[in-house]
Structures are given as structure tokens and as C-alpha cells.
Chains A and B, each alone.
Chain A
Amino acid sequence: MLLLLENFLISISAIFANKARSSLTALGIVIGVFSVTMMGTLITGLDKTFEGSMSFLGKNILYVGRWEWFSDMDWWEMKNRPRIKLEYIDKIKNKSDLVLAVAPERRKGVSISYQEKNTGIEIFGTSENYMKTISSNIVSGRFFTNNEDRSGSRIIVIGDGVKKAFFGEKNPIGEKIKINNIKFRIIGVLEEQGKFMGIWSLDNRAIIPLGTYERIFSRRDFLTMRVKIPDKNLNEGKDEIMTIMRHLRSLKPNQKNDFSINQTKAFEKQYNSLKLAIGGTGTFITLLSLIVGGIGVMNIMFVSVKERTREIGVRKAIGATKGMIMGQFLMEAITICLFAGLTGLLFAYISSFFLNKLFPSTLDLGLATFAILISMLVGVVSGFIPSYQAANLDPIDSLRYE
């Protein structure tokens, strides 16, 4: 124990005597530790964002439409599928035992204006049931009713982004905003959603009754049905909807589906392969730089042993055992790597602050510890042969060494 501390002190002075050389060779380890911690930070950050985004999309929502979210099917094949008809909604609700709610959804990008200001948003046309199929709430005002939907009222529920852009802290309820020169009265504001995967804002949107949407825009825009199923019956629910849809479409058993049932699971698959790519690249970079760094440290240790041959001879003459010499040089290698590791960690810590602006990311303590242990392990591995060599030098030869 005593010797450990002594060796540590010896190493520190040896390293500081050769600052430039030591830091240059250890650069690989700095990069290695940096990349492994950044990779971890990135993945945990993405995980959190992804979780948030998925709960926004709703894990228990099936999206029934013409388009497969992630598929290698040709786009024109999907485009030529028959349309989803509004009447399906009632039929699904009647025939299904599991479905909790079904809401239609048409959407398109429009320009919206209030007084002199205007901004681009996505407009949604849907029914009263929509609120049952999303995870966010109305923070002020209300949602529209079935009657307002049927009568095609010019009323609108705006997202938090629209509110902030036009009204700031003012109360927007009752104000009139224009889309395509048609006035809409604001009746409600949606809760803030944040950004999907930290990139696309989910707050720059507004919702109007489907009836109104179809009158003003189009009846031919793609219609998607949002079908809510209890969490625990997700798979059965999917099978059930599939059966009902095939029946509605009068498909024979040998015919393929001409509709799609999408789930957030599809995103998960996609996301997991992204994660795998990040993890793979990160691991590759980490390993590569640790190997390069390790070789650098090994090299510097060989030089150090050579330069201090005489010192080794003296130490042996006054009573150092092989183990003690070995310990001294191993400690030196470990200390170099430890410093390099801490430096890499510092850089990672600083970078995580910047990354935090994009999505939640904090340096994980366990990961930091792991990275430090890894860098020390590199020290042991790369210092082993030089230290072994030092320990086995002949004392007389080394004392004579010039």
C-alpha cells in the first residue's frame, strides 16, 4: 500500500518531467474515453427523447391507412391502394370488441396568419374523438363537439407553437386567425409537446373539425384512422382490425392486404437500428483509438525504461525487488492513461453541455467510471511488457549503462 502511493508519486514526477511527450502519446486514450462516454451520453439522451416522442405518438394507437411507415414496398403500389373511407370508422367501432376510440385524420401544410404575422403550420382535420387518441391535453379553452364537426364550424384549436408565435403570453381564446383568407375562431390551446426526436416541433400545428377541413380543403387528401386499443391487448387488437379491414375491403384469403396498420413499434425497430449504428461506430472508434493510444503508451514506456536503465540499476542495488520495479513502471503507465482518461472525460463533460441544447443528455456516472477503468486497463496492458522488461534488467549491466 505504502509502495503503491510511492510509485504513484514517482510516476507523477516522471510524467510531469516529460509532459509534452506523455500527453501526445496518450491522445488516443483521450479520444477513446471521449468517444465511449459521448456514445453513451448520446444513446441515453436519444433514448429519453425517443421515449418521450413515442409516448406522444401513443404506444397503444394503431394508424390505419394506405402507407406503410417503414417498408420496402414501392410507393406507387401503396399510392394505388383504395382510399380509406370515413364510413370505416363507425364500422370498426361497431364490429370490434377491443377498440376504445377511433378518430379520422387528414393533414396538410398551410400558411396561417394573425393580423400582420404569418407562419407555416400543419393543419389537422379530425373528429371529436381525436382527444381520446392523443396523449396531450387542452390547456385553455376546449375542443370542438360532434355538432360543430358536422356543421362545419370555422373554429380551431391551436398548438402551443402557434400561440407563442402570435399571442405570446396573451389569451388567444376568441381571437380570429386566417387560413387561405378564411377566418377561424380560436376555441382551445393544446399543451406544449416539444420536439419529435428533438428535431421536428410538434407544437406548430392546429386542429379543425374534419367537416370544415373537407369543405375548405379537400375530401381527397389521405385519410388515416387513429385506433386506440388497450395497452395489454395491442396484438389482439391489431389482428382484429386486420380482420375487420379485410372484410370491409372484401379481400379473399389469398389476396394481400391493400391497407396498412402502423404502430409506433415500427419506429422502435428503426430507432434500434439507428442506435446499433451509433453504438457500432462509437465502439469502433473507441477501440481503434484505445489501441492506438495503448501502443503509444507502450512505446513511451519502452523509452522511459531505456532512459532510466541506470536508475533501475541503482534501485535494485539498494533493495528494490523485481516486483517493486514492475509496480513502479506499471503504475507510471496506468497513471498516464488515468490522466488521459480524465482529460477525455472532461471533454465529454463539456460536450454534453452543448449536446444538451439538442436533447436531454447528461454524462452518466456509471459510464464515466467504466471509461476510467477501461483507460486504466489500457495502462496495465500496454505497460506490462515494458515493466516486465524493466523488472528483469540485470542490475550490474544497468548500473554500467551510459
Chain B
Amino acid sequence: MTLISLKSIYKIYNVGGEEVRALDGVGLEIKENEYLAIMGPSGSGKSTMMNMIGCLDTPTSGFYQFEGEMVNEMDDDQLASIRNRKIGFIFQTFNLLPKATSQHNVEIPLIYANIRKNKRTELAMEALNSVGLSDRMHHKPNELSGGQRQRVAIARALVNSPSIILADEPTGNLDSKSGHEIMVILDKLHKAGNTIILVTHEDEIAQHAHRIIRLFDGKIIEDSEIKK
């Protein structure tokens, strides 16, 4: 089933009177339980595309359907609700709240989903458990290694059982060993039925995916399946 459908998406910035086409007429379909890697040189529009898919950014023009619903026509609160329930973000820089424990960080999406405290704790524990951090519940980010922080961030992305997980260079700030651990988790999530979109520079990381898209100057120049 088609989860995401982008049609002639443009994102155009105006910098000092000059047009910057971050996305230049992108069309793309993503089905349920796909494992997609987006590649391309710096400035090619990978993050812009991720933000668009994640309903954080709105296109200058074009159509975006998420689970059959027109995202273009949604107001701020509806977008927030989609981000909360349907999308799990994983950032290169983790973006955990520095003063909160792992448990609290993971619970935040649940707070916004208006879920009771008991249920929240239960779900957060479950999510942390699935990334192998059940013994780090009460640690704050600065008491964790980079790899562990990213795993907390993954738990946070997972906790609301989203339709899709978006990871923008999730291993970019990690050494290869921790990076590998993160990829093992993502593979596992994919096997469990999750849809995953991943931005990366590294071919080795991209090889985990089943489909690779290459961007160049805001255009898709290649869209290929990886035969396993």
C-alpha cells in the first residue's frame, strides 16, 4: 500500500534576490515497509526532502499525500498531530533534551499524545528495552555515550508506534562501531514491519536499505532497488 506520495514538489528559497531550488520538481512514492536510503552530495536537498516528508516543512508548490490524506491542506495543529502519531524523527545530532532523563525524553511524544502517566512509563520502558537501554532509564544525555544517545532518540521515535521512521544521517556523528549498532537496530525495526527512510553519505550504510534514491541539485537522478 502506498504510504507517501510526492508529486512535483518544489522548495524554492530566495537568498539575496537569487533563487535557490532546494527541491526542484521531485516526484516519489513510498510503500509500506519500504527501507529507503536517500543519498547525494551536500546541499542536494536531502534534509529538505526529509523535512517535507516529516511534515516539518511545507513545499513552495506541489502535492503531498500521506496515507491518502492531502498534507498541503492541513493546518498547523493537524501537522503537529501527524508528526506526533505517524512520524518518528531521528536526527544526526540526537536532539535530546539535555536536562531530562532517557525515560522522560522518550515520554515526551506520549505527553503530547495525551497519554496517562502509567501508560507512558510502560511504553517508554518498552521502547528503551527494544534499543537495549533498559538499564539507562534514569541517565541524562550527558551521562550517555553518543551511540547510547542515538538509541534513546530511536526509542523516542518509536514509542508512539509511528507509520514511518525518518533518520537524517543517524550515524553521522558516531564512530563506525556505534554507527553499526544503530544500523542493526534500524534493520531490526524494518524486519518488524516499520517503514524507514534514511539519509546518508556512506555507501556502506546505504547498503542496509532496499532502495536507494540519489539527489542532485534538488532533483532525483537515480531511483534503484538493491537486490539482496
Interface set of A (CB-CB < 8 Å, partner B): 2-3, 6, 13, 17, 310-311, 313-324, 395-396, 399
Query: Which residues of B are at the interface with A, using a C-beta cutoff of 8 A?
Result: 51, 54, 56-57, 76-77, 80-81, 83-85, 89, 91, 95-97, 99, 108-109, 111-114, 116, 156, 160
Partner of B80, one of A13, A319, A396: A319
Given the complex, which residues of A lie within 8 Å of B160, measured CB to CB? 319
Number of A-B contacts (CB under 8 A): 62
Give chain A nearest CB distance to B51 CB in angstroms. Answer: 6
Query: B97 and A319: CB pair below 8 A?
Result: no
User: Nearest Cβ in chain B — how far from A384, in angstroms?
Assistant: 19
Of B54, B76, B77, B99, the contact of A317 (CB 8 Å cutoff): B54
Q: Is the CB of B112 within 8 A of A320?
A: yes
- Assess whether B114 is in contact with A317, with CB atoms less than 8 Å apart: no
A6-B56 in contact (CB<8A)? no
If A13-B99, A396-B57, A399-B91 touch, whether A319 touches B116 (CB-CB below 8 Å) is no
Q: Is the CB of B112 within 8 A of A324?
A: yes
Q: How far is the CA of A19 from the CA of B51 in the complex (A)?
A: 37
Chain A residues within an 8 Å CB radius of B114: 2-3
Known: A311-B97, A399-B95. A318 touches B51 (CB 8 A): no
In the bound complex, CA of A90 to CA of B103 (Å) = 94
A-B contact pairs, 17 of them (CB 8 A): A2-B111, A2-B114, A17-B99, A317-B54, A317-B95, A318-B84, A319-B80, A319-B85, A319-B113, A319-B160, A320-B84, A321-B81, A323-B77, A324-B112, A396-B56, A396-B57, A399-B91
- Interfacial chain A residues near B85, Cβ < 8 Å: 319
Chain B residues lying within 8 Å of A310, measured Cβ to Cβ, are: 95
**Which A residues lie within 8 Å of B57 (CB)?**
396
Q: Are A320 and B99 in contact (CB under 8 A)?
A: no
Cβ A319 vs Cβ B81 within 8 A: yes
A319 close to B95 (CB less than 8 A): no
* Residue numbers in B under 8 Å from A396 (CB-CB): 51, 56-57
CB distance from B160 to the nearest CB of A (A): 8
**Interface-centre pick from A6, A317, A321, A324 (highest chain B CB count, 10 A):** A317
Are A3 and B111 within 8 A (Cβ)?
A: yes
- Complexed CA–CA distance, A182 and B51 (Å): 105
Pairwise interchain contact B76-A318, C-beta atoms closer than 8 A: no
Closest chain B CB from A335 CB (angstroms): 16
State how many angstroms separate the Cβ of B28 from the closest Cβ of chain A. 20
**Which residues of chain A are within 8 angstroms of B96 by Cβ–Cβ distance?**
314
The one of A6, A314, A323, A399 in contact with B97, judged by C-beta atoms closer than 8 angstroms, is A314
Smallest Cβ-Cβ distance to A6: which chain B residue: B111
Q: Which residues of B contact A314 (CB under 8 A)?
A: 95-97
CB-defined contacts of A17 to chain B, threshold 8 Å: 99
Residue of A nearest to B84 (CB): A319
Tell me the nearest residue of chain A to B166, going by C-beta. A317
CA distance A62 to B109 in the complex (A): 77
Tell me whether A321 and B80 are in contact in the complex, defined as CB-CB below 8 angstroms, given that A311-B97, A314-B95, A399-B95 are known contacts: yes
Q: A311-B97, A318-B112, A399-B91 are in contact. List 20 more A-B contacts (CB 8 A).
A: A2-B111, A2-B116, A3-B111, A3-B112, A6-B111, A310-B95, A314-B95, A314-B97, A315-B112, A317-B83, A319-B81, A319-B113, A321-B76, A321-B80, A321-B81, A322-B76, A322-B77, A323-B77, A324-B112, A396-B57
* A318-B99 in contact given A323-B77, A396-B57 (Cβ < 8 Å): no
- Do A318 and B77 touch (CB < 8 A)? no
Interface centre among A311, A314, A316, A323 (most CB of B within 10 A): A314
Task: Give bound CA distance, A319 to B77, whole Å.
Answer: 9
A317 touching B108 by the CB < 8 A rule? no
Contact B108 A318 (CB under 8 A): yes
Within the assembled complex, what's the spacing in Å between the Cα atoms of A6 and B112?
Answer: 10
What's the minimum C-beta distance from B166 to chain A, rounded to whole angstroms?
10
Q: How far is the CA of A3 from the CA of B116 in the complex (A)?
A: 10
Contact in complex: B112, A317 (CB < 8 Å): no
A314 to B84, CA, bound (A): 11
Contact call A316/B111, Cβ cutoff below 8 A: no
Judge whether B51 and A319 touch: CB under 8 Å: no
Give the CA-CA distance A395 to B54 in the complex, in Å. 11
> Knowing A3-B111, A396-B57 touch, does A318 contact B91 (C-beta < 8 A)?
no
Q: Which 8 A-B pairs have the closest CB atoms?
A: A319-B84, A321-B80, A319-B112, A314-B95, A318-B109, A321-B77, A319-B83, A317-B89
